[in-house]
Every structure is written in C-alpha cells, then in structure tokens.
Structure 1
Amino acid sequence: MKIRARVPIRLGVLLVATLAVLAAGCAELPELPQGARPSPAPSHPPYAPTPADYKAVQDLLTQRAGAALKGDEAGFLATVDRRDQKLVDQQQTIFTNLQRLPMKSLAYEVEETERTPDEVRNDGVLFAPKVVEVAQIEEAHRAPVAHPTDMTFVRHDGGWVVGRDRPAPSRRYSRPWFGGPIAVATGRSVVVVTERDGPTGAAELLDRLSTARTVIKEALEPVWRGEIGETPLLVDSTYNGQPPGDTFEGDDGAAAVTYWVDAVGPPRSDMPTLAGAVIKDNPAASNRLAADDRTLRHELSHVYGPALVPTWVNEGLAEYLSGCESNICGEDEERDRLLAHERAIPDDEEWGEDGPIDYAISHGAVSWLIDDNGGLKKFLEFCNDFFLHKPAGSDDFHDGTGKALRASYGLTEKQLIDGTWAWFEDLPAD
C-alpha cells in the first residue's frame, strides 16, 4: 500500500478555505509586483499610407541628412523615436561615425513602394516605404553612391519618426558608418576606416596602404584600365557593411575582397560610371589585410590591375604581385594535392569551387608566364590584348585563353598547363 503524503493541519485548513472562496467565484488574487508583470505588446493598428505620409517621411529624412552634414546631433536624433533607448544609442553611434568621415553629401530618396514594417518597441501605426540612402565620401567616391536601407517609421506625437533602422537584406552594401564605432584616416583619393578599438589603427593602416599602393601602381603602370585620373578607394576594415555574396563564409572564406560601386546620376557616356573601388576586409580572417601586408598588396592589385581578363589571370597576378614568391606562400602545404589534381586551368564559372587549389593554379600559371616567358611587361601586354581574343557571344574570358596565348607568347594552353605543373614540381616536398 502506498501511503499518502500527510498535509500539515494549518496548511490543510488554509487550502480548504481558499478553495471555498474560489468556488464562490468572488476571490480577487493579489497583484504581482510591477517588475514581475510582463510588458504588454506594443499596439500597431493597421494603416494605409497616403501620399502625404510619403512626403512627410521624405521631409523627415531630409532633416536627418541635413543635421548629419551640419554636425547637429540634436537635430539628427529628433528624427528618431526617443522612447526607445536602444535605438537612440544606435543612432548616436551612426551620427558620430558620420562626423568622423569626410562626407561630401548625404541624402535619402523615398519611393512610393511600401514594404512590410518591422516590429518596433513602442505603440503607434507603422510605415515602411522603400528608402535609398545616397552618400558621397570625399576622396573615396568620385560621385554619390546609392545604398539600400531597411527603415521602419512609427507615428508618434502626430508625426513620423524612425522606429527601427536595420541593415538592408542586400547581397552587398558599403556603409562603414552603419554599425559599431569607427576610426578614420584620409589620404589622397583614399579613405581608410577601421574599428575604433580594433587591432590596427586607421592612421597606421593608411600609412601601410600608401606604401603598398606606390609599389603596386608602379608595377602595373602599363595596364590599360580606361580610368581617368586616380581611382578613388575606400578601405573598410570594420565589421560594418556586407561583402558581395558569401565571400567571407566557410573555412575558405576570403581574407578580403575588392569590388566596384556604381555612381548615382547621369552617366558621362554609354558605359556605367563607377564611383570608386571598395576593399572590404574580413575581420574574422587571421590574414586580414589590417594585419597582413601580402593581403593588402593582393587587393590593391585588383584595384590597379587588368579588368578584361579571366579570373585565373586576375587572381594569379594578384598573388604574384603580393610578394608571394615560389615556396613561401603556403602552396608547399598543398604540393602533393596539386600534383595529383586534374591538370587544367579553371574557367571563370569553375573558379572558386576549390578556393586554395584554384588560387595555387592561377599563381603557378602566372608565375611561369612571367618568370620563364618574358617578364612582367610582356605579361601585362598579354593582359591588355586579352579582350580582343574572347569569342563573340561568350561571357567567359577564359574562352579566349588559347588565342591570347598564341598571339602574345606563341604558346598553346597545353604548354601553359605543363609549365604550371612544372612550377608545382619545384615546390618543396612535405
């Protein structure tokens, strides 16, 4: 027999009395302390925006941009829902970052396209039009650049204010002011942005960049790029922003990436106008450019190197000019794997499927052409003429490799492959 647990007499009497009161339906339970009560969910009634709402938000953001350019923190924060301290703290950091950058212009364009609003922490109807931020950084852009945003506005005290401001769900964007605190250093046609408390200061990185840029530009002086004047450059060594695609993801994620940003405004010709180049550092990489001069030189080679060439030429030349001589760049760790690998130069669509191997093949091919077949000047002439040999209708520059090799070197692609693997043979054995 299982013995029932005994209830003390006083507690038993209390339980009976309590049950009797509840059964009578007239009991009022004691209130919970204020701190123990869950906060009610904010109220966001459905709302259909009108043309006047779009104009009101445009006016609000015009005020915001003007305040940022004038250094008016109070005016900038007046556009934000002050009931949300976390939002206010975020916006104060953004304002401070904008003050540290040499901003030439800042504006917002509100389109009459409504998106689904994000939840905000306070009551009020919500509104989320499409907003594009248009900004130009002096020395880093030759024209303004458009950036997607993800803003939600909330109506408070009879007007709209920013209720939430998040990174846009975009494949890439370059807004170094949007995120954590930054430090900035400015040079001729270059702006360097680092984390305020990061391992490398902005001034130090600018000094190293200037030295490396002089070396790389001198080496690549014969390259035809179609650029007029100095290439404006933004070097972003922060956690802010988003690199193209999945560039930094996985074990083989890049240490840095270089890409170009389009200019906003009427084009100067039939070709799209580029506002400048961006080098985005990967703060999580052990060989990030903030701490590795070889990575820095590699990325600068992409800024000043040939453009109308296949990926194996582009990446191989960047590895070569980074100061990566045979036997000292890590390929020795892959020697056996390289020698056993399929003997082929990866085309543009394949390139990157096996990152370390593709870099090594590209490096070996370019090194063999330069060191054993006429030097850097001849190789750059080969690069300048490469676009002439790409077959009409093809999007893959590698399709012109055979013709380009014959025209510039009198070589076949098989000879290039044999030379590349001979270069691998010279690497030290494990």
Structure 2
Amino acid sequence: MAGVRTVVLVLCAGLVAVLLGGCGEEDGPGDATRAVADLLRQRSAAVRDGDEAAYLRTVDPRSGPYRQQQRTAFRNLDALPLAAWTLRLDDTLPVAAERTTADVRLTYRLSGYDTGDATAGQRLEFVRRDSRWYVAGPAPGSRPQPWDQGPLAVVRGTHSLVLGAGHPGAPGRPGARLRAVAAAADRAVTDVSAAWGGAWARRVVVLVPASQAAMGELLGAGPTAYAGVAAVTTGRHRDRAPADRVVVNPEAYDTLGTLGRRIVLTHETVHVATRAGTSPATPLWLSEGFADWVAFRSTAGDPRHGAPELARAVAAGRLPRALPADADFTRQEGGDGDPVAEAYGGAWLAARMVADEWSPDRLVALYRAMGAAESRADAVGPVLRAELGVGPGEFTQRWRTYLERELG
C-alpha cells in the first residue's frame, strides 16, 4: 500500500506542476519559455490595468537607467486611449537560459482611432534572477516605439491624435508645434473625407519624434534615411493595414510654410484613408497621384509650381514616354534631374487629368476598381477600359499631351 501511495503522490505532484504551467518563482531553467511568456502576460495586464507598480515588477531591478526609462514609458502609455494591449513571445528560449534575447510581438489598438490592431515587433533581453524572470532592456538594433523615446506629449485634435516623443514639457505642456500639427491634421482629415468618402476611421494618428534621427529609429532606418522627407506613413504601399501612423520628420517639416505642411499631411492622410481600398494591383502612379491630387486640389495656381522638376524636364525636351513605374518612386543615384520628384509630378498630373477630363468621381471610381482587382495584370488595362473607356496606350498618350499643355 505504501508503494501505491507514493506513486499517487508523485502523479498528483506532476499534475499540479502541469496545471500551474511552471511559471512561478520555482521555475527551473527548462521552463524559460513558459516563464517569459507569463512575464509578458503580467506586463500586458499591468498596462491595461494602469498598474505602474505591477509593470515595474516585470523590469530587472538591477537594470539601472532602463528601469527609469520604463517608468517613463509606462506613464506615456497610461496617457494613451488604449483599447487593447498584448505582448506575446515569438521565440522558444534555450532550455538552460539564465540571460537571453527573444522576439516579442506587440498588438495594440487606440480607441477611437484604429479600426483594427496595430502590431510591432521588438527584440528584448530577459534575465533570470533568484528564480524569477525580468525584462532587462531592448536588444541591440531593436526598434523603439514612440513611448520609448522619452516623455510623450499627447494632443487630441478634433479628428487627430498627435504623439510628440521626447518633446520638452511632455506630457503636461505639449507646445505650440504639436498643437499646430493637430490643427493641420484635423483639416487634412476633413479634406480627405470630402474627396474619398467611403468607410474609414476619419481619424489620423500622427507621430512627431524629437528629431530626424529619432524618426529613423522609429522606422528602423539610419539617422539620415529620411533627410528631406517631411512625413511618411508606416503602412507599406498597397498593404491593407488597419492602423497606419503618419510619422513627421520635424527637421524637414519645419522648413515648410503653412501651405506646404497642409499638403504633406493631407497627402499622408490619403494613404491612411485609402489603405483598405488599395491592393498589390494598384500602381503607385495612381496611389501617389491620387494622394497628391487630394492634397493640391484646394490650391489654385500654375501646375508648374506643383511639379517643378517635371516642368523643367518637359521644358528641356524630356517628356516622359510612359507613366511612372513603381521603381521610379525609389531614389536612385545618377541621371538627369530628380527622377523621384519627376515621378511624383507625373503621377499627380495623371490623377489630375482624370479629374479634369472625366470627373473627380471617375478618379475615385478608378482608384477603387484598381484596388479591387486580383492582380496588376487584371487591373490596369481592364480597369481603364471599364472606368474611363480607354486602353493603356490611349491613356498614356492623353497624359503626355496633358503634360505638354499644362507644363509647356
């Protein structure tokens, strides 16, 4: 009987260990994956519950400056309208790990702004101390989020949410710059809604890092990768992302006048609004051209001022033979003029031509029909014929004639 009783006790002890998941303070080295996964669940719950003490209990007590940075990060997060927040482990950790790095996936949603979940990946360092696991800091090269870049100023516009990372006075005193960005973003949302219509959030989230280098960090690029670029959207072109962010390069944005800032934010807001209606079948000349058409359409004036590089090319006898290809929107070394600027100018005037010679409604219908196509091969020719009654060759020739007339 004693032997049977011993077996029963051993089985019960094993069952309890399985049910508990091995994630408590008694975890052994072999439980690293489960323990860190549980640590991330605790960290997620602390953010959702607004529990700073619980959040800091997940941070390595010996991490020094990182611990203070995490205190700031938590307070930044606590100021956001979070509807959801979850961290998940994307890796399997070494069996005998005591200190390791792992990929972590963040999924979150901003209430009132996101129509779906935003996602971000980070690589974090974890350490085991006295049978407990902690977050010890970001691994080298890990991309930060805006709340990781110092105090976060939060400005709520009528249709916008502006997050200023690392700005003086944040979060209590956001400053005139961020309020002006919010006002421009609000107007952009109104202009885009009037042009595009349809179902979209009619809200935009704008990130304003403290510097161009900080912008590069957010986007996983070098400190000068976005030199001269006033703003970008985080969603890839033709990617159906439900939670785009507009990221402003403060150094380039600040060189613009009021009208230039409005045009930039309107252009990027178009990408946010139209993302769900864009697909791999949509050519960049249409998605970029439509964004510029919306941004410029309320401004009066000579189109040569809106597309100066292309106007110079046309004046020099370099009239484009074909609509801009997708690759033309990527900066390349060498060649005459500024090919990227010329591509954007050509795309804008292609969209403008459709609005002028057909109608603005036909332009919107063309965009939506391109995005609904199964592939690029099924889109351009058939959609042009169905929506405008012309094939690619005739459309291109009409566009070239339009360029000569408008820019000549």
Q: TM-score, normalised by structure 2?
A: 0.71
- C-alpha separation in 1, matches of 2:272 and 2:389: 29
* Structure 1 residues 4-403: aligned runs within 5 Å: 50-114=29-93, 125-166=98-139, 169=142, 175-186=145-156, 190-195=160-165, 196-197=167-168, 201-221=177-197, 227=199, 230=201, 233-238=204-209, 239=214, 242-243=218-219, 249=225, 253=229, 255-259=231-235, 275-286=242-253, 292-305=261-274, 306-308=277-279, 309-323=282-296, 326-327=302-303, 329-338=305-314, 339-352=317-330, 354-371=339-356, 373-386=357-370, 394=375, 396=376, 400-403=379-382
- C-alpha separation in 2, matches of 1:313 and 1:247: 30
- C-alpha separation in 2, matches of 1:409 and 1:135: 41
Q: Aligned AA for 2:358?
A: G
- C-alpha separation in 1, matches of 2:222 and 2:396: 30
- Report how far residue 151 of structure 1 moved: 1.0
- Mean CA deviation greater in 251-260 or 311-320: 251-260
- C-alpha separation in 1, matches of 2:161 and 2:202: 12
1:52/1:278 Cα in 2 relative to 1: closer, same or farther (>3 Å)? same
- C-alpha separation in 1, matches of 2:183 and 2:62: 43
1:294/1:245 Cα in 2 relative to 1: closer, same or farther (>3 Å)? same
- Report how far residue 112 of structure 1 moved: 4.9
Contact 2:164 2:207 in 1 (8 A): yes
RMSD (Å), alpha carbons: 3.8
- C-alpha separation in 2, matches of 1:303 and 1:147: 17
- C-alpha separation in 2, matches of 1:53 and 1:290: 54
Q: Aligned AA for 1:216?
A: V
- C-alpha separation in 2, matches of 1:211 and 1:332: 26
- Report how far residue 220 of structure 1 moved: 1.6
How many pairs align?
A: 350
- Which whole-Å deviations, capped at 9, do the CAs of 1:347-368 have from their partners, x for residues lacking one? 3355435321110110121112
- Which whole-Å deviations, capped at 9, do the CAs of 1:352-410 have from their partners, x for residues lacking one? 35321110110121112212x1221222233333357x6x7x4x36x743333333333
Where structure 1 has 5 or more consecutive residues not aligned to the other structure, the ranges are 1-48, 116-123, 262-271
- Which whole-Å deviations, capped at 9, do the CAs of 1:172-192 have from their partners, x for residues lacking one? x8x332223221133577532
Contact 1:233 1:276 in 2 (8 A): no
- Mean CA deviation greater in 183-192 or 336-345: 183-192
Contact 2:289 2:349 in 1 (8 A): yes
1:332/1:363 Cα in 2 relative to 1: closer, same or farther (>3 Å)? same
- Which whole-Å deviations, capped at 9, do the CAs of 1:80-123 have from their partners, x for residues lacking one? 223332212321221121122112232322245238xxxxxxxx
- Mean CA deviation greater in 333-342 or 130-139: 333-342
1:158/1:237 Cα in 2 relative to 1: closer, same or farther (>3 Å)? same
3-state SS in 2 of match to 1:82: coil
1:200/1:96 Cα in 2 relative to 1: closer, same or farther (>3 Å)? same
- Which whole-Å deviations, capped at 9, do the CAs of 1:290-335 have from their partners, x for residues lacking one? 9711111111222334525321111111111112654364422442
Greater helix proportion = 2
- Report how far residue 212 of structure 1 moved: 2.1
3-state SS in 1 of match to 2:344: helix
Q: TM-score, normalised by structure 1?
A: 0.68
3-state SS in 2 of match to 1:259: coil
- C-alpha separation in 2, matches of 1:209 and 1:313: 23
Bigger radius of gyration:
1
Where structure 2 has 5 or more consecutive residues not aligned to the other structure, the ranges are 1-27, 169-173, 332-338
1:384/1:247 Cα in 2 relative to 1: closer, same or farther (>3 Å)? farther
Contact 1:260 1:277 in 2 (8 A): no
Counterpart of 1:405 (choices 375, 378, 384) is: 384
Q: Aligned AA for 2:268?
A: E
3-state SS in 2 of match to 1:277: coil
Q: Aligned AA for 1:386?
A: M
Contact 2:115 2:201 in 1 (8 A): no
- Which whole-Å deviations, capped at 9, do the CAs of 1:13-53 have from their partners, x for residues lacking one? xxxxxxxxxxxxxxxxxxxxxxxxxxxxxxxxxxxx84422
- Mean CA deviation greater in 353-362 or 251-260: 251-260
Q: Aligned AA for 1:53?
A: A
